[in-house]
A and B are shown apart, each in its own frame.
Chain A
Amino acid sequence: QKEVEQNSGPLSVPEGAIASLNCTYSDRGSQSFFWYRQYSGKSPELIMSIYSNGDKEDGRFTAQLNKASQYVSLLIRDSQPSDSATYLCAVTRGSTLGRLYFGRGTQLTVWP
């Protein structure tokens, strides 16, 4: 079983819609959870971090964490064509805090 799994996509939504990206993780010892955005040919950019159960909102982005279900999601409201990118879910484990475990990413396309 992979450490971190994401819905493989690709995901395509119209401009203005809500994009929902999902991620599950296998280790119950996982402590910190992150979403990165990576444009083609660029490096990953941190857009959200979440550490406790519940929702965390930042502008058009909402991260949701459910540790009991080992599930973390990212909602993008009012999606824009500029949101088209690959979204990477990453987690840390208690024993290796300086290491991020990444999912394979979900490619999102927002069409006008």
Chain B
Amino acid sequence: KAGVTQTPRYLIKTRGQQVTLSCSPISGHRSVSWYQQTPGQGLQFLFEYFSETQRNKGNFPGRFSGRQFSNSRSEMNVSTLELGDSALYLCASSWGPDRGSLYEQYFGPGTRLTVT
């Protein structure tokens, strides 16, 4: 079974620009969660989408947004990039058909964003 895929893997952007990251979950999984990982803050939760609806949201400014499509693929967008947005952005999929492992989240390889 294919794992979680994320594109692009690496991205370099300039302050003030915007960026869109994509995530394709494991086939059959209905939930996609997004996390930001930095050396200083660790793993921080951005938001979670389930069946095209945002179900949970972390404490990030409105510049960070996301959406989920009917095929469960998800995108996150960051507008007006700041230097502090440089991080590894991870998506994770969960809520597959196996009820015994509903809450297990499987991570993609991440997108490394560098803002200059």
State the A residues within 8 Å of B (CB).
31-32, 34, 36, 42-46, 49, 88, 90, 92, 96-105
User: Are B110's CB and A43's CB within 8 A?
Assistant: yes
User: Are B106's CB and A99's CB within 8 A?
Assistant: no
Q: A34-B104, A88-B43, A92-B103 are in contact. Are A98 and B50 (CB under 8 A)?
A: yes
Q: How many residues of B contact A (CB 8 A)?
A: 26
Q: Give B100 Cβ to nearest chain A Cβ, in Å.
A: 9
B31 contacts which chain A residues (CB < 8 A)?
Answer: 98
State the B residues within 8 Å of A (CB).
31, 33, 35, 42-43, 45, 48, 50, 55-56, 58, 88, 90, 92, 94-95, 101-110
- Name which residue of chain A comes closest to B44, CB basis: A102
In the A-B complex, list the 8 residue pairs whose CB atoms are closest, starting with the nearest: A98-B48, A102-B43, A43-B107, A32-B103, A99-B56, A104-B42, A43-B110, A96-B56
Bound: A104/B44 CA distance, A: 10
Q: Give A103 Cβ to nearest chain B Cβ, in Å.
A: 8
B55 contacts which chain A residues (CB < 8 A)?
Answer: 98
A34 contacts which chain B residues (CB < 8 A)?
Answer: 104-105
Known: A44-B90, A46-B104, A46-B105. 19 other contacts (CB 8 A): A32-B103, A34-B104, A34-B105, A43-B90, A43-B107, A44-B107, A49-B104, A97-B103, A98-B33, A98-B50, A98-B55, A98-B94, A99-B58, A100-B92, A100-B105, A101-B45, A102-B42, A103-B42, A105-B42
